[in-house]
Chains A and B, each alone.
Chain A
């Protein structure tokens, strides 16, 4: 069976973005029959990764074979014709329960939750934390860095150094006391080194978002930080509980093991194959 992914990155002619890596390319590494769609090809199954029908591009509705929409962002908020795309599909995959519940309002097609997972071959053994809490890291796309604003007071109070790993510098120090500006650092995000980059810090601060789109977001940043051996905190109270290396080691160990057990991308391959089988059987019936 030939399974292809028409990815967001391909559609936009860009190098692979996070969602394309997480939702498609990682799976292909462990699934030889699953490859990225190349123009002109025909497939038995086409997975549209954040790719939608457009007014002037109805191709997804016309192709033969099984069709699945993999949606990991609330792109209807950006005006994408999600409903029309769903109508043309045989099934839907998404990473979160909130997303699945929302989509169920729009379609009666089968919906499968497949969490964002990671390639464990790239994960190092659990790191050992040393010394009192000194450094923190936040990572993600620049447009999401506003979430850090609420964390600045406690970072300042604890005298931490904060490094932001992002596609572009969001200039987080703009919210800080000018005399502490030297405590704020920026590192360019690099997919190849992100795990080792994260492991250099004591804790990951990933404040919970309260924007309308945040309720649909997956926990992929949290689980990635876990795999780098970091405890992840969302607020001041949780951060203050990570002062000692013993506390960090304890939390990091639990989270690291949970991520190893539950967030192996090979599991996503199994789940996606199962979903395709389910849809195929539905179609035959």
Chain B
């Protein structure tokens, strides 16, 4: 058995990751902490509700000698120690010295509001709020010898190192329901602006109102699901899903929507062009609000049935590429390899896409 020490990050990501214990001989021990919590109000069921005590446990502290490998989480904002959310990674990384560590880096080096990509990756001298120079360690130094996993091939290129692990989900857990003629977007008001291209979303909303007659339903601003069921319900009943992000390496929301049979309107960034064929199983659009608004208008008002069919082909794509079995197999390869001192190497070729 491989004994894995970990912490909660995004529950959506972790929900899929913890399924590893149902299919492989591993056990997860998660540190309870105040920074990231997994509760009844979280977006996914609590692990103790669906895993047994041989598969998962909460622990109060890290105990050297008790685990084989640790899985920690970062994104580009961990480069700045002044950002509180990085504490968890930094402190556990310092504390855990007896076992190898896998670090899942959920971001790209883009943090335009604060630093250049070079600073985020390699570090350098910056000015603090008082105008005094201070040294910032780049992610390269912060991650050190840890085995860095990214969420897309594109992100490996952007960081300059790393091993890609493309997410996977259980298709049957997503609800493909009769589609309402509406568009939907899922984007938390928290987080980075340019990275998620909030400006484009604002303009898309504006032009949609003008050209289509209604703005996209924005979760959680226009509608806040009380639980996962309500999220799956509104997703499953929406004809279109907008994924306009600029630099998120692999949007989970987009995959959830694809598995729910929504027709995807996606930006061209990151790996989107590797699995979305324009007009076949979704749409790849330029960063232009009029393109989004015109497309939404055409699809909903004049091509509803064809759009449903495109959504179905998108679902087939998601089931093919982003399924749990493939994801867990890839994850186990990483976990077992790192735990045994033989981490996998990536040759730069796609491990899942056709081309």
Q: Are A39 and B84 in contact (CB under 8 A)?
A: no
A32: chain B residues at CB < 8 Å are none
B187 at the interface (CB under 8 A from A): no
Residue pair A64, B60 in contact (C-beta under 8 Å): yes
Contact, CB under 8 Å: B39 / A56: yes
Q: A39-B33, A40-B96, A41-B95 are in contact. Are A56 and B41 (CB under 8 A)?
A: yes
A residues less than 8 Å from B35 (CB atoms): 13, 39
Number of A-B contacts (CB under 8 A): 54
Residues of A with C-beta under 8 A to B61: 40-42, 63
User: Contact between B39 and A10 (Cβ–Cβ < 8 Å)?
Assistant: no
Secondary structure type dominating chain A contacts: loop
B33 touches A13 (CB 8 A): no
Q: Is the CB of B34 closer than 8 A to any CB of chain A?
A: yes
Residues on B with C-beta less than 8 A from A15 are 82
Task: Say whether B87 faces chain A, with CB atoms less than 8 Å apart.
Answer: yes
A64 CA / B63 CA spacing, docked (Å): 13
Cβ of A141 under 8 Å from chain B = no
- Are A40 and B32 also in contact (CB < 8 A) when A10-B87, A13-B85 are? no
Which of A10, A14, A38 contacts B95 (CB under 8 A)?
A38
How many angstroms from the CA of A107 to the CA of B91 in the assembled complex?
A: 34
Complex: A12 Cα to B37 Cα, angstroms: 14
Residue of B nearest to A64 (CB): B60
A13/B92 in contact, CB under 8 A: no
When distances are taken between beta carbons in the complex, the residues of chain A under 8 Å from B94 are 38
Determine whether the beta carbon of A13 is less than 8 Å from that of B84.
yes
Cα of A12 to Cα of B34 in the assembled complex, Å: 9
- A38 partner residues in chain B, CB cutoff 8 A: 91, 94-95
Chain A residues within 8 Å of B41, by CB: 56
**A4-46 interface code vs B (CB 8 A; 1 in, 0 out):** 0000001111110000000000000000000000111110000
Query: What residues on B are CB-neighbors of A57 within 8 Å?
Result: 32, 34, 37
B219 in the interface (beta carbon within 8 A) = no
Instruction: Tell me which of A14, A39, A56 contacts B91 (CB under 8 A).
Output: A39
A179 within 8 A of B: no
Residue A285, interface by CB 8 Å = no
Interface of chain B residues 14 through 57 with chain A (CB within 8 A): 31-35, 37, 39-41
Q: What residues of chain B lie closer than 8 Å to A13, measured between beta carbons? A: 35, 83-85, 87
B residues near A11, Cβ cutoff 8 Å: 34
Closest to B84 in A: A13
Contact among A12, A55, A59 with B60 in the assembled complex (CB-CB below 8 Å): A59
Provide the residues of chain A in CB contact with B304, threshold 8 Å. none
CB distance from B49 to the nearest CB of A (A): 15
**A39 to B63, alpha carbons, bound, how many Å?**
12
Interface contact A39-B87, CB-CB below 8 Å: yes
A62 interface contact, C-beta 8 A = yes
Q: List 30 A-B contacts (CB under 8 A).
A: A12-B84, A13-B84, A15-B82, A38-B91, A38-B95, A39-B7, A39-B31, A39-B35, A39-B87, A39-B88, A39-B91, A39-B92, A40-B31, A40-B61, A40-B91, A41-B61, A41-B62, A41-B95, A42-B61, A42-B63, A54-B34, A55-B39, A56-B37, A56-B39, A57-B32, A57-B37, A59-B60, A62-B32, A63-B60, A63-B61
- Other than A13-B84, A40-B92, A57-B34, give 6 A-B pairs with Cβ distance below 8 A: A10-B87, A39-B87, A39-B91, A42-B63, A56-B37, A63-B60
List the interface of chain B (C-beta within 8 A of A).
Answer: 7, 31-35, 37, 39-41, 60-63, 82-85, 87-88, 91-92, 94-96
10 smallest A-B Cβ distances: which pairs? A13-B84, A40-B62, A56-B39, A42-B61, A38-B91, A39-B91, A40-B95, A59-B32, A63-B60, A40-B92
